Amino acid sequence: MTRHPTELELARAAAGDRCEDLVEHLRWCPRCRTTVADYGWLQGEMARTLAAEAERAPVSEPDWVGLRARLQSPRPTGAVGRRAAALSLAAVVGLVLIVPIVMVGGNRARTMAPRLEDVLAPRAPVAVMGEGRVETPACRPPGGLRHTQRVSLPFVPPPTPPEPQV
């Protein structure tokens, strides 16, 4: 070995994990031999101290049967647990219903959007009756008047010229 081993390699050598290069290096290097001896002494002291502490510590024998019985017994759920479950369910349902309405804009989005009938149906001509009032023409659907509405405009629109007949 052309270099000195690392501290980790020396600690492993003290624990008994030695390779041929390390053994050869330890034959001629007194500093590394001393370090390996110190690591060996330290490991022995730590093992003896831990064993002595483990003997002195009062550790009772575990009650495995009692532990199993406690784990398998049903837990009592009181009124507080049921109330909390009901409130959390109500909160989730409320959020599921309220969040989409808030995100879309609620009723405002429905009133701002055009109705399908208004988009697809052709516009009816407007007839000016007088005093600025406007009415839809006299041609009415067979079911009668469903939506009769008089609108007062702030101005009087000019009369619509008749369409030429071909």
Amino acid at 115: R
> pLDDT tens digit string along 1-41?
568 888 888 888 888 887 888 888 888 899 999 999 999 99
> pLDDT tens digit string along 84-100?
888 999 999 988 888 87
Residues in the chain: 166
Cβ–Cβ < 8 Å for 98, 119:
no
Cα-flanking dihedrals φ and ψ of residue 38, to 5°?
A: -65, -45
Instruction: Output the CA angle 138-144-150, nearest 5 degrees.
Output: 55
Cβ–Cβ < 8 Å for 5, 32:
yes
Cβ–Cβ < 8 Å for 41, 15:
no
DSSP one-letter code for 73: S
Of residues 109 and 57, more confidence is placed in 57
CA atoms of 101 and 107, how far apart (whole Å): 8
Residues 6 or more apart whose CB falls under 8 angstroms from that of 152 comprise: 132, 133, 134
